[in-house]
């Protein structure tokens, strides 16, 4: 039995995520583990995930500490195979020694991690089942178990065109057999697209000709001067600890909170939305008295399965999007600068949910096919899994339109930021008593404010106003609206 350590690298958790925070180890050095046994809990920008081991054996080394952020493709755990006595890894004198002992140098780990992430975007399939990259074939173990299952090494496929030089041992130890080319990570691809840089004209400086971020930066800055290799974002931040004096305000710094996980994802998404979407906002006050009265009557008849107000409004929203499908689209810009509006045959209705980990937007898939009661059940289920941190990337990233009930926080309205890459968001304010004219007379009614933020590139104000007025009319006359749906 070979005594070579098996190094399991942090797998791609799907949706283009490139890092995860190590929350907790579920095993310790010296433990005997089985295939598919959870070894660690990690928190991504999407959810909390248990990472299972693709190997059985004895835990030889844990690469990282709780609270540390790890890059996808970096070593997570080293395991001595079953029947082998785990030995202390020796400092390698050369690359071959490093591979034979299972020790990976920083340079090798960085190259392997970059190659690993690159291949994931080409669909290599080395991901957690349920968190897979699109178009990749998932090989290996698929037997059911509680939680996610790691894909183990698949049998080699037919060889592809070989690079000029043999693949580095560190890279070969982490990749699933498949296509290795100059495909780059989404972040680097976007940088090139945003600056009009043709990837075909770039000679990659990474392993096997991979195009790296520094290559695109050099192309952007040419011919003035080549760009220096990019430093990690963390390195650019001051290393000063709390208690230091802030140079701008002259006040002592009381705390420094790293932006990561869900907060980091939300910040990036909101920034992208504000940067790329020319949004406009329309709003209207709505008399919700009839809706509240109808729900109260339903609750008397069937107290245990009466849909909530959000589910009823969600039903009106899906009907409105069928009438005004322009708001259920996505605006895309191609690498060549071409633009198109992508429509969908169906509605995945997202809704904003506040959790201990921050604001997330789970989505009810095929919401247009569900009744108000079915919508209510799915909204409750998704809210529960989101607050537990167990929602999958698919549940959190597949929406086509978002409904935001910020009225639960006691506010009337909001100039909401659209949930990129969607093109519209409907907000619902609190329902309060207000003076309202009914049949020419002043009365006290239950009034709420609806606010629609929309991407002005996909439609004009007439479409947005038509949708908003339709939902408002449904709320004011819910019985007739539901009867027509």
Measured distance CA(398)–CA(420) in Å, rounded: 11
Active site residue 63: no
Identified catalytic residue from 195, 304, 368, 456: 456
Residues annotated as catalytic are 456
């Amino acid at each position: 039995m070979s005594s070579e350590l098996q190094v399991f690298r942090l797998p791609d958790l799907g949706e283009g995520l490139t890092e995860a925070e190590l929350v907790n180890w579920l095993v310790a050095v010296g433990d005997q583990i089985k295939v598919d046994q959870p070894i660690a809990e990690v928190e991504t920008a999407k959810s909390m995930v248990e990472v299972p081991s693709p190997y059985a054996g004895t835990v030889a080394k844990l690469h990282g500490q709780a609270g540390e952020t790890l890059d996808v493709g970096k070593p997570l755990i080293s395991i001595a195979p079953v029947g082998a006595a785990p030995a202390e890894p020796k400092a390698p004198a050369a690359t071959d020694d490093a591979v034979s002992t299972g020790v990976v140098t920083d340079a090798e780990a960085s190259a392997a991690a970059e190659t690993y992430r690159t291949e994931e975007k080409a669909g290599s399939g080395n991901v957690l089942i349920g968190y897979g990259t699109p178009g990749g074939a998932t090989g290996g173990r698929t037997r059911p178990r509680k939680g996610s299952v790691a894909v183990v090494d698949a049998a080699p496929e037919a060889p592809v065109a070989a690079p000029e030089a043999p693949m580095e041992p560190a890279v070969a130890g982490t990749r699933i057999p498949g296509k290795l080319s100059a495909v780059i990570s989404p972040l680097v691809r976007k940088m090139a697209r945003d600056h009009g840089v043709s990837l075909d004209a770039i000679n990659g400086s990474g392993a096997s000709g991979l195009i790296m971020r520094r290559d695109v930066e050099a192309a952007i800055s040419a011919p003035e001067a080549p760009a220096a290799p990019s430093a990690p974002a963390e390195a650019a931040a001051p290393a000063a600890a709390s208690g230091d004096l802030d140079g701008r305000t002259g006040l002592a710094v009381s705390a420094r909170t790293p932006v990561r996980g869900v907060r980091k994802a939300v910040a990036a998404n909101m920034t992208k939305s504000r940067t790329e979407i020319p949004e406009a906002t329309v709003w209207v006050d709505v008399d919700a008295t009839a809706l509240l009265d109808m729900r109260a009557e339903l609750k008397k008849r069937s107290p245990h399965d009466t849909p909530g107000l959000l589910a009823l409004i969600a039903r009106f929203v899906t009907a409105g999007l069928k009438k005004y499908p322009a708001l259920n689209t996505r605006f895309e810009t191609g690498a060549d600068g071409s633009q198109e509006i992508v429509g969908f045959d169906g509605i995945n209705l997202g809704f904003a949910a506040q959790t201990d980990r921050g604001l997330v937007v789970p989505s009810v898939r095929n919401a247009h096919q569900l009744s108000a009661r079915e919508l209510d059940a799915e909204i409750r289920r998704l809210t529960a899994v989101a607050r537990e941190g167990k929602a999958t990337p698919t549940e959190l990233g597949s929406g086509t339109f978002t409904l935001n009930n910020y009225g639960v926080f006691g506010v009337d309205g909001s100039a909401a930021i659209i949930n990129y890459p969607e093109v519209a968001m409907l907000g619902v304010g609190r329902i309060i008593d207000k003076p309202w004219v009914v049949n020419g007379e002043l009365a006290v009614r239950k009034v709420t404010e609806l606010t629609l933020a929309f991407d002005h590139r996909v439609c004009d104000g007439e479409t947005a106003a038509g949708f908003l007025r339709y939902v408002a009319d449904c709320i004011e006359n819910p019985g007739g609206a539901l009867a027509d749906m």
